[in-house]
Amino acid sequence: MTKKEIIHQLDIHYTAFLAYVSGLSEGKYQYSYQQKWTAGQQLEHIIKSIAPLVQFYSLSPSAMEKIFGKTQRTNQSYEQLTANYQEKLAAGGKAPSQFLPKPNSFEQRTASLTKLRQLIDQLKEIIQKTKEDDLEQLLIPHPLLGNLTLKEMLYNAIYHVQHHHQQAIAYLNKQGITYQLVQINIARMKGVNIEDPIMKEFVDNLDAINQIAESSEGFVWRLQDEENNATSFNPYQDEQVIINISVWKNVAALEQYVFKTMHADFMKRRREWFQKFGEAYVAMWWIEAGTVPTVSEAVAKLEELQKNGPSKSVFNFREQYPVPN
C-alpha cells in the first residue's frame, strides 16, 4: 500500500469501529460473554495499542533508527502480515499486560471514542509527513511478530481494529448462540488473474455483493484484504484461483444471501467468468461462536470435504449437518 492507501484504510476501519461502538446500548456495551472482553474493553485495548504508535511515529527518523534500527529487506504485504498474525493468535498468542484493558464503563464511552478518534487523526497526519523510504526501512517491535517496519506495523493496525471489531460483534452474537457457520468457496477464473479484462464486470460488482452480505440478517464476518474483498489471498499459489470465507449465524442466513439476493443473479452467470471446477468448491462447518477461521484452516476443511465427502465435520448445501450438541 502507498501512504495514501494506508491512510484511507485506517480511516475506513477505525471509523467503522467507532460507529459500531458508539451505537451500542449500555447493556451491549458492557456485556461480557464468558468473561471475555466487553465492547468497552475492546475499545480500551485499541486505544492502548494505538497510543504508543502515535508517540513513536512522532519521533524524528534519526531518533527512531537509533532506538530500533532499520532494515533493507522487502516489506511483507498486508496479506502476508495478516496471515502471520492470525497464525500467532491461533497458536495462543496474547496481548502483553500493558495492552490489557481495564473495565470501561458506559459513562466513559464518549471520552474513549473521542480519544481514539484523535489518536487516529494524529497518526494519519504523521504518516502523511513520513517519507516512503522511512516507512519501509525503520523498525519497530511488535509483541507477537517481532521487528516490523513502520509500514508493516500500520498494516497490523489496519487489521487489528477489524479483528477486535468482529470479535465485539461475535461476542454479542453469542447471547444464546453456541456455534456459528463458516463457509469457504473457491473458483478458478477464466482470466489469467483477477486483473484480466474478462473478469472486469465481476470485479466491478464485488463491493456491491459484499455490502449485501454485510447487511444481511445473520452475517457475522468475512475475510477481507486491503481492497475490502478477498481476491488477493492466494493459499493455492495459483493466480487463477480465488477464495471467499465468511461466518454466519446459521445455514438459513447463508442460504438467504446466496440464493435469494443479487448474489444469486451472479451465481447464474458464473460460467461467464469461471471455469468448471470439477470437485467440491463449497464447504461449510460449525465453529464456536466468537471465533473466526484462519485461511489455512478453511482450506484444510475444503480439502477434507473433497477427499472424504460430507460429514459432521464438514458438509455442503446438499447434505447438511445440524449444530453440534
pLDDT-based confidence at residue 177 (cuts at 50, 70, 90): low
CATH architecture of 3-173: Up-down Bundle (1.20)
- Mean pLDDT over 270-280 rounds to 86
Under 8 Å between Cβ of 99 and 45: yes
CB atoms within 10 A of CB 179: 17
What does the pLDDT read at residue 56?
Answer: 95
What is the average pLDDT score of the chain? 92
pTM of the model: 0.60
pLDDT at 263 over 80: yes
pLDDT at 286 over 90: yes
pLDDT at 175 over 90: no
Domain 179-308 coded CATH 3.30.70.100: yes
**pLDDT cut 90: percent of the chain above it:** 77
What does the pLDDT read at residue 283?
Answer: 96
What does the pLDDT read at residue 154?
Answer: 97
pLDDT at 107 over 80: yes
Say if residue 261 is exposed, middle or buried (CB neighbours under 10 Å; 0-12, 13-18, 19+): middle
Write out pLDDT tens, residues 24-76. Answer: 888 889 888 888 899 999 999 999 999 999 999 999 999 999 999 999 999 99
Where, residue-wise, is CATH 3.30.70.100 in the chain?
179-308
Amino acid at 208: A
What does the pLDDT read at residue 234?
Answer: 87
C-alpha cell at 33: 460473554
Specify the range with the lowest mean pLDDT, choosing from 220-224, 226-230, 250-254.
Answer: 226-230
The residue ranking higher by pLDDT, 260 or 227, is: 260
What does the pLDDT read at residue 176?
Answer: 64
Where, residue-wise, is CATH 1.20.120.450 in the chain?
3-173
The single residue listed with the C-alpha cell 447464474 is 268
Provide the H-helix boundaries in the chain: 3-22, 26-29, 39-57, 61-68, 78-90, 109-129, 132-137, 150-173, 200-204, 206-215, 251-260, 262-268, 295-308
What does the pLDDT read at residue 25?
Answer: 87
- Mean pLDDT over 205-231 rounds to 88
d(CA 94, CA 144): 8
